[in-house]
Chains A and B, each alone.
Chain A
Amino acid sequence: MSAPAPDRSAAPPRGPLRPFHFAEVHRRTLPNGLAVLAAEVRNFPIVTVDVVLDAGGLAEPAERTGLAAFAAGLLESGAAGRDAAEIAERVDDLGISLDSGVSWDTAQCGFTCLRSRLEPGFELLADLVRHPAFPEGEVERVREERLSSVVQRRGTPSSAADEAANRWIFSPDTLFARPLAGMLRTLQGVGRAEVAAFHAARYRPDAATLVAAGDASVDEIVALAERWLGDWEGGAGALAPPAVRPRAEGTTVVLLDRPGAVQSEIRVGHVGIERTAPDFFAVTVMNTILGGAFTSRLNMNLRERLGYTYGASTTFAARRQPGPFSMSAAVQTEATAHAVSETLRELRGMQEAEVAPAELDDARNYLAGVFPLGLQTTDGVSGKLSTIATYGLPDDYYQHYRERLLAVTAADVLAAARARLWPDRAVVVVGGDAARLRGELEALEIGPVVVMDPDELES
């Protein structure tokens, strides 16, 4: 039944469009102050539940960097009469996927489960969040594990470059200058008492939101929250917003020395935006054009034109306070200096003139189109509920998300580029072979070149 060849000369027309709607978000607040955000997602018999707590990296003292992550990681080490092995057996008997961790803004503990295991999952989650035991032996073991991962991180070119970039983007008195997972010296001294005190102070219902998405009704979720978290007591209070300051007024090149490296891990970064910035959508579209998609200017230049790298990208990590903007690419050693100058040229290019109408359309449509792709899973939807909770966004925020992206204009993009990209005061981190690279990086004349040993990340 071979048909005649179709006309291939142009892309075929689009078919009938079915609208996409973000699931309706329901909010309740329990008498103890715990907020509940729930959305029904009914296609699979799966539910994701997360407790989102105001107990992230910003809640820890600077000399205890890593404490928040340490505390979250220890929740499953013993709670409410069960030891770590018993909790692990319970989790695996139920087939639930349990996860706890931190961002700078929050700690999260939660799980994804089959609908039939929702109630026992909830019970376990409540135990972990409310009654962790932090047994001495596990505190010591997990601390050793975390110290190992610091060594691992610094011995890995990509993650060492990330750590160095944050350290040079932010002023030393800014928490973001440090690694969220901790340093050797800030983790070494942490004991059980400190972890327990952190938990007692920050894991409280008035500083928590329960988010749930999946095959369960809002009433079911609220009833479970009332049953297992309704008598949770105490107050954490709000945290004072920390100061966020850039480290340098001009460009500095930091050469993180790795003798013999066949590639250079490049980061070009500076202070970026907060999640609630009024130009968040303009910055998002601008970043997509610069380095946020495969067909972005930067990737098309460094990868598809020059062949220097497997991929180059840019991101704005938007937090409650302005997080970092960073370009990231691993390039062959001999192309390092040129890749740096091309990156700075692309940043400046965004500031010189409005983007072309087609480029703007493509970026907006890309972002609007991929938005639903991330919402096929219960944890994709619950992640959006966490974002609403963490940044105090309106409950109907994601119902209007695509419209707001599509409303961004070329003038908005230009204004965002001019305000939010700082090519003349960026930190350039190059993780690579200093002996081979120092001269050519100095020859760029973009700023002083500082050579740093990866061990100095600890100082």
Chain B
Amino acid sequence: MQIPIERFELANGLRVVLSEDHTNPVVGVNLWYNVGSRNELPGRTGLAHLFEHMMFQGSQHVPETGHIAHVERVGGSLNGSTWLDRTNFYDTVPSDRLELVLWLESDRLGCFLPALTREKLDNQRDVVKNERRQRVDNAPYGDWDERLQAMLFPPDHPYHHPVIGSMEDLDAASLDDVADFFRTYYAPNNAVLTLCGDFDPAEARRLVERWFGPIPRGPAVPPLPGRPVLEPFKLGREVRHTSRGGVPLPRVYLAWRVPVYGSPDYYAADVASELLAAGKSSRLYRRLVRERRVARSVAAFLLPVVTGSSAFIVRGNGDAGDTAELERALLDEVERLAAELPGPAEMERAITGLEARHLFELQKVNERADQISMLTTYFDAPELISTELDRYRAVTAEDVRRVAAEYLTADNRAVLTYLPGADVAAPAEAA
């Protein structure tokens, strides 16, 4: 299915993509800033995400929490999120309110600093610390991703530390840190704006230029801190950690370094993850859940990230009993990918599933806008929203086998195990 794409760039460097669709009288406005936790300096982990919160605390012409109030009171929904490589902000509103959102989004990009106060920062610091408690510290398995990141990536790699940050670093973030972060990364030349839905493209372009055009271009963005390039690419050994206590049931995570999102081998690895765990006909579900009953549920997925390395992650949820058997059973299926070519019916099934799920997701203007912003931020190629599936179709059975054999190996693997029981955590082995 062809998604319409019209793109242009403002003089200040803001890349803009319009995707018209008059099915429903709604419009999605989506901004990606090319900054995430990967840009954080040592001692300031969590700053990118804390900053995202501050973007909802008002700007020169919008009072505290006024952004959210303006959008909610016209019947819109909105949020933002921060991840390893990027930060996004999105609003979906009735289409007659497009200009309101452009005013709000441009005000916090163009006029943020005058409204920044210590009180707002302290309040959002408390909120974020509670977000960390809720999602990580007080949630069973809540630290799985930060543990795997620390195991897979060395301390000087931008993915080593968690997006949410540490409590100490959150406490240490100052008003100056927040202001500097804004000046460094929040500029039109470091952002992509996508509009998707019910608008007239000529009018939308005029409105975008009206509200975003006068915002000055920012300075060049500094290079990523640390060493984003992994040399050698593979981990070089198996890294293991066992976490005891605080969880009701055992769980095993396996993770490998694999090539970044956008590379040909990423797509082959993603097909491998589909063969392993997409649907109940998948290898892990059929063998481990249905037949051998060593797992209660399974998952396999890649992180769509672009800095140095992605991660291929396999998860198996166990019950009582031995996680060694569960781990071995997961590995058996991963190793089989490297040893035998998948059959044509299985390959076809994987593509069918990817294609169908892609289309189901694209029904929402906000989802379409988010994918377009992502593809433009990472690859400068919004049209991939319609053509990326061809890259999956191009993957051969031999590609899957080769990629599995090359990357899903014992010397490139992190193994994270959760066990119920005494609340004593073994110290993590350094990667």
B209 nearest CB neighbor, chain A only? A3
Would B359 and A310 count as touching, CB distance under 8 A? no
Contact of B214 (CB < 8 Å), options: A6, A17, A300, A309: A6
| Contact A8:B107 (CB < 8 A) given known A43-B21, A154-B248, A375-B24 | yes
Would A88 and B286 count as touching, CB distance under 8 A? yes
Contact of B364 (CB < 8 Å), options: A89, A157, A376: A376
Encode contact with A along B385-429: 1 for CB under 8 Å, 0 otherwise: 000000000000000000000000000000000001001000000
Contact of A88 (CB < 8 Å), options: B21, B111, B123, B281: B281
A19 to B124, CA, bound (A): 38
User: Which of the segments B31-39, B347-355, B375-383 contacts the partner chain?
Assistant: B347-355
Would A88 and B279 count as touching, CB distance under 8 A? yes
Encode contact with B along A1-37: 1 for CB under 8 Å, 0 otherwise: 1111110111111111111100000000000000000
| Contact A362:B73 (CB < 8 A) given known A156-B140, A263-B133, A310-B134 | yes
Chain A residues within 8 Å of B203, by CB: 15
| Contact A2:B213 (CB < 8 A) given known A92-B281, A155-B248, A362-B69 | yes
> What's the dominant secondary structure at chain A's contact region?
mixed
Would A18 and B95 count as touching, CB distance under 8 A? yes
Would A330 and B96 count as touching, CB distance under 8 A? no
Is A114 an interface residue when CB atoms closer than 8 A count as contact? Answer: yes
Contact of A365 (CB < 8 Å), options: B75, B102, B125: B75
Chain A residues within 8 Å of B201, by CB: none
Is B178 an interface residue when CB atoms closer than 8 A count as contact? Answer: no
Chain A residues within 8 Å of B348, by CB: 93
Encode contact with B along A73-115: 1 for CB under 8 Å, 0 otherwise: 0001000000011001101111111000000000000001110
Is A262 an interface residue when CB atoms closer than 8 A count as contact? Answer: yes
A348 to B144, CA, bound (A): 41
| Contact A15:B95 (CB < 8 A) given known A1-B11, A294-B72, A372-B26 | yes
Is A341 an interface residue when CB atoms closer than 8 A count as contact? Answer: no
User: Which of the segments B60-68, B151-159, B218-226, B308-316 contacts the partner chain?
Assistant: B60-68
Is A245 an interface residue when CB atoms closer than 8 A count as contact? Answer: no
The count of residues in chain B whose C-beta lies closer than 8 Å to any C-beta of chain A is: 91
Chain A residues within 8 Å of B349, by CB: 89, 92-93, 95
A310 to B74, CA, bound (A): 24
Would B99 and A15 count as touching, CB distance under 8 A? yes
Is B172 an interface residue when CB atoms closer than 8 A count as contact? Answer: no
Is B92 an interface residue when CB atoms closer than 8 A count as contact? Answer: yes
B131 nearest CB neighbor, chain A only? A310
Is A349 an interface residue when CB atoms closer than 8 A count as contact? Answer: no
| Contact A373:B77 (CB < 8 A) given known A95-B355, A152-B249 | yes
Would B130 and A309 count as touching, CB distance under 8 A? yes
A427 to B126, CA, bound (A): 27
Would A376 and B24 count as touching, CB distance under 8 A? yes
Name the interface residues of A155-170: CB closer than 8 Å to any CB of B: 155-158
Chain B residues within 8 Å of A149, by CB: 296
Chain B residues within 8 Å of A85, by CB: 281, 286, 290
Contact of A92 (CB < 8 Å), options: B60, B97, B210, B352: B352
| Contact A362:B72 (CB < 8 A) given known A8-B107, A12-B103, A151-B249 | yes
Is A388 an interface residue when CB atoms closer than 8 A count as contact? Answer: no
Would A378 and B248 count as touching, CB distance under 8 A? no
Contact of A369 (CB < 8 Å), options: B11, B94, B125, B356: B94
Name the interface residues of A280-315: CB closer than 8 Å to any CB of B: 293-295, 300, 303-310
Encode contact with A along B247-287: 1 for CB under 8 Å, 0 otherwise: 11100000000000000000000000000001111100110
Would B68 and A95 count as touching, CB distance under 8 A? no
| Contact A91:B279 (CB < 8 A) given known A2-B11, A112-B360 | yes
Name the interface residues of B334-364: CB closer than 8 Å to any CB of A: 345, 348-349, 352-353, 355-357, 359-360, 362-364
| Contact A330:B130 (CB < 8 A) given known A88-B286, A148-B319, A361-B73 | yes
Name the interface residues of B170-195: CB closer than 8 Å to any CB of A: none
| Contact A4:B214 (CB < 8 A) given known A300-B65, A308-B126 | yes
With both chains docked as a complex, state the minimum distance between the C-beta of B283 and any C-beta of chain A, in angstroms: 12
| Contact A156:B139 (CB < 8 A) given known A8-B111, A15-B95, A310-B131 | yes
With both chains docked as a complex, state the minimum distance between the C-beta of A213 and any C-beta of chain B, in angstroms: 11
Encode contact with A along B87-103: 1 for CB under 8 Å, 0 otherwise: 00000111111111011
| Contact A377:B286 (CB < 8 A) given known A1-B209, A148-B249 | no
Would B213 and A3 count as touching, CB distance under 8 A? yes
B95 nearest CB neighbor, chain A only? A18
Contact of B24 (CB < 8 Å), options: A13, A15, A20, A303: A20
Would A43 and B296 count as touching, CB distance under 8 A? no
Is A145 an interface residue when CB atoms closer than 8 A count as contact? Answer: yes
A97 to B209, CA, bound (A): 42
Contact of B99 (CB < 8 Å), options: A13, A44, A157, A361: A13
Chain B residues within 8 Å of A370, by CB: 75-77
Chain B residues within 8 Å of A378, by CB: 363
Would A97 and B357 count as touching, CB distance under 8 A? yes
| Contact A43:B363 (CB < 8 A) given known A97-B357, A151-B249, A369-B76 | yes
Would A141 and B290 count as touching, CB distance under 8 A? yes
Is B117 an interface residue when CB atoms closer than 8 A count as contact? Answer: no
Contact of A15 (CB < 8 Å), options: B11, B23, B98: B98
Contact of B211 (CB < 8 Å), options: A6, A305, A376: A6
Would B65 and A18 count as touching, CB distance under 8 A? no
Encode contact with B along A37-51: 1 for CB under 8 Å, 0 otherwise: 000000111100000
Would A18 and B23 count as touching, CB distance under 8 A? no
Chain B residues within 8 Å of A295, by CB: 65, 68-69, 72-73
With both chains docked as a complex, state the minimum distance between the C-beta of A385 and any C-beta of chain B, in angstroms: 16
Is B169 an interface residue when CB atoms closer than 8 A count as contact? Answer: no
A113 to B360, CA, bound (A): 8
Is A261 an interface residue when CB atoms closer than 8 A count as contact? Answer: yes
A113 to B198, CA, bound (A): 25
| Contact A20:B25 (CB < 8 A) given known A8-B60, A15-B96 | yes
| Contact A372:B138 (CB < 8 A) given known A92-B281, A97-B357, A295-B65 | no
Is A397 an interface residue when CB atoms closer than 8 A count as contact? Answer: no
Is B143 an interface residue when CB atoms closer than 8 A count as contact? Answer: no
A10 to B100, CA, bound (A): 10
Chain A residues within 8 Å of B211, by CB: 6
Is B137 an interface residue when CB atoms closer than 8 A count as contact? Answer: yes
Would A141 and B281 count as touching, CB distance under 8 A? no
Chain B residues within 8 Å of A97, by CB: 356-357, 360
Is A331 an interface residue when CB atoms closer than 8 A count as contact? Answer: yes
Chain A residues within 8 Å of B99, by CB: 12-15
Name the interface residues of A363-404: CB closer than 8 Å to any CB of B: 365-373, 375-378
Would A367 and B75 count as touching, CB distance under 8 A? yes
With both chains docked as a complex, state the minimum distance between the C-beta of A124 and any C-beta of chain B, in angstroms: 13
Would B296 and A148 count as touching, CB distance under 8 A? yes
Chain B residues within 8 Å of A332, by CB: 126, 129-130, 133
With both chains docked as a complex, state the minimum distance between the C-beta of B325 and any C-beta of chain A, in angstroms: 16
With both chains docked as a complex, state the minimum distance between the C-beta of A6 and any C-beta of chain B, in angstroms: 5
Is A144 an interface residue when CB atoms closer than 8 A count as contact? Answer: yes
A3 to B100, CA, bound (A): 18
Would A1 and B213 count as touching, CB distance under 8 A? yes
Contact of B94 (CB < 8 Å), options: A4, A17, A303, A306: A17
A1 to B209, CA, bound (A): 9
Cβ contacts A to B, 19 pairs, < 8 Å: A3-B214, A13-B99, A14-B100, A20-B24, A84-B280, A91-B281, A152-B140, A155-B249, A155-B420, A263-B130, A263-B133, A263-B137, A303-B127, A306-B126, A307-B123, A369-B74, A370-B77, A371-B75, A376-B24
Q: Which 6 A-B pairs have the closest CB atoms?
A: A369-B75, A155-B248, A307-B126, A95-B356, A88-B280, A18-B25
Q: 10 new A-B pairs (CB below 8 Å) besides A15-B96, A92-B349, A148-B317?
A: A18-B95, A18-B96, A45-B1, A95-B355, A144-B319, A155-B420, A305-B123, A330-B130, A332-B130, A376-B364
